[in-house]
Amino acid sequence: QKEVEQDPGPLSVPEGAIVSLNCTYSNSAFQYFMWYRQYSRKGPELLMYTYSSGNKEDGRFTAQVDKSSKYISLFIRDSQPSDSATYLCAMSSMTTDSWGKLQFGAGTQVVVTP
């Protein structure tokens, strides 16, 4: 079983809809959670970062963490065609041994159609 599970999609939504993405994880030591956006043939770009359970908003993006259920989500409101990309969740325990080591999900391909 992978430490981080993420549905690869593709997830197709019409422009203006809410995009809902999620990841589950098995390692209870994970304390830091991130969402990255990756366009084709490019490196990942950090979108959201959180380390506590609950919601965090940044513009059209909302990250949600439920540590008790080992479940994280990313919501994108008012989606635009430019949001079409692969979204990767990543997490880390940031202990001495795992400092800086991120475990990534497989990534979900999102397509926003005009």
Q: Where does this chain bind another protein (CB under 8 A)?
A: 4, 6, 8, 32, 34, 36, 41-46, 49, 51, 88, 92, 94, 99-102, 104-107
Cα 4 to chain centroid distance, Å, stands at: 11
- Nearest distance from C-beta of residue 75 to another protein, angstroms: 21
All residues at 6 or more sequence positions from 97 whose CB lies less than 8 Å from its CB, including other chains: none
Least distance between another protein and beta carbon 107 (Å): 6
Which residues are registered as beta bridge partners of 63?
56, 74
Question: In the complex with another protein, which residue's Cβ is closer, 91 or 112?
Answer: 91
